[in-house]
Structure 1
Amino acid sequence: MRRLWVSGYRSYELNVFQDNDPKVAIIKEVLKSRLKNFLDQQADEFWLITGPQMGSERWAVEIGKDLQADYPQLKIAMMFPFAQFGQQWNETNQVKLAEAKAGLDFSAEVSDKPYQSPQQLRNYQQFMLTHTDAALFIYDPEHPGKTQYDYRAANKYCEQTDYQVHLVDFDELQEAAEEWQERERERRAEKYGY
């Protein structure tokens, strides 16, 4: 595997409205661990390919950029489903998108036209499947969100190819949150002596 599609819940689907929300730290920690596992198995060039959505995709870019110092084989690409994506967002989110896009190894639009129909989103989905070897979704099938469409398409694609779908579900995130809370308790006890 040399090309990984990373996607998942949008921030609002997780009730995350601030970058300093503890949920973001947990998701990033789990995502970093998963990506490191993939990278440790790959000495050659490895592409993290994601989209521009606020939430899992932006966090994947941030983690990827952090990991590039230790994993020079890691390249990051952001694919936009259509032209002018994000222009309707508020100024704060447009700045965050520009920051995420800065310093990437590659970015492009699957459709060179602004949004016109849902077909552009299906074309984007097909592009991502045919240009990656596997997907890592921060997604729990028991809690549907917009990623359910990518998840279904990827599973269908698995039936015809050797494509792989990896999930980070709510159970894994809950376990990581409990471990994080335990480390925080230990840190406070060490620092304050209780």
Structure 2
Amino acid sequence: MKSVLVTGYKASELGIFSLKHPGIDIIKKALKKRIAALIDDGLEWVIVSGQWGVELWAAEATVELKTEYDNLRLAVITPFLDQEENWSDPKKELYSRITQQADYVKSVTNSKYDGPWQFKERDKFLLRNTDGLLLVYDEEKVGSPKFIKEQAERMAGTRVYPIISITEYDLQSIVEEERADVFYEE
């Protein structure tokens, strides 16, 4: 797989409303672990739409991994122009840092928000132009990622399109690893 679309829950779906929430680091560690494994299998591009939540954290994780992996690239392909326009200043700053460090930034539609159709166009474009999906999603906690997962499953019925999930169980494993590390350091 040369390119992977990374998506998942919006921050609000996870009850995360602060950039300092401890859950963000756990999610980023899980993403880095999976992305690093994919890099070892030939991954070159991580693609996100820059949505506030898992996607921006995946972009941050990718930027961090780029220091270790010279061939890794990040693309931010938004559904419309200025999607961050109504975000808080700290979120806008993070978004700006990410887009400045990305290797490619573009919008699927060349206009500001005009309607939900832009999200549908984004999803179709991203699924059509990637080799697989890395999804932070748990079947037990239904949310917005359900829709792109269903589209990816339909696509996987017509061509090879792996869907890799990071679940609540995977995140809990990261928490337990960290607790064990702290225990052994003492």
* 1:158 corresponding residue in structure 2: 156
Return the alpha-carbon distance in structure 2 between the equivalents of residues 98 and 64 of structure 1.
15
* 1:54 corresponding residue in structure 2: 52
* 1:93 corresponding residue in structure 2: 91
**Partners of 1:83 and 1:113 within 8 A in 2:** yes
The Cα of 1:58 is off from its aligned counterpart by 0.9
* 2:138 corresponding residue in structure 1: 140
Amino acid paired to 1:170: E
The Cα of 1:20 is off from its aligned counterpart by 3.0
Counterparts in 2 of 1:51-90, with a 5 A limit?
51-90=49-88
Write the deviation string for residues 101-140 of structure 1: whole angstroms up to 9, x where unpaired.
1121000000012222221111100000011000000111
* 1:25 corresponding residue in structure 2: 25
Write the deviation string for residues 25-81 of structure 1: whole angstroms up to 9, x where unpaired.
211111111111011121xx7000011112211111111111112211101000110
Return the alpha-carbon distance in structure 2 between the equivalents of residues 29 and 156 of structure 1.
29
* 1:35 corresponding residue in structure 2: 35
* 1:149 corresponding residue in structure 2: 147
The Cα of 1:90 is off from its aligned counterpart by 2.0
The Cα of 1:91 is off from its aligned counterpart by 2.0
* Corresponding residue SS for 1:132: coil
Return the alpha-carbon distance in structure 1 between the equivalents of residues 181 and 19 of structure 2.
21
The higher radius of gyration belongs to: 1
Report the TM-score when normalising by structure 2: 0.94
Amino acid paired to 1:34: R
Report the TM-score when normalising by structure 1: 0.91
* 1:181 corresponding residue in structure 2: 179
How many residue pairs are counted as aligned between the two chains?
186
Return the alpha-carbon distance in structure 2 between the equivalents of residues 90 and 21 of structure 1.
16
**Partners of 1:78 and 1:101 within 8 A in 2:** yes
* Corresponding residue SS for 2:101: coil
* 1:167 corresponding residue in structure 2: 165
* 1:130 corresponding residue in structure 2: 128
**Partners of 1:26 and 1:180 within 8 A in 2:** no
Is 1:8 equivalent to 2:8 in the alignment? yes
Deviates more, 1:13-22 or 1:68-77: 13-22
Segments of structure 1 that go 5 or more residues without pairing to the other structure are 190-194
Return the alpha-carbon distance in structure 1 between the equivalents of residues 22 and 89 of structure 2.
24
Aligned-residue sequence identity (percent) comes to: 27
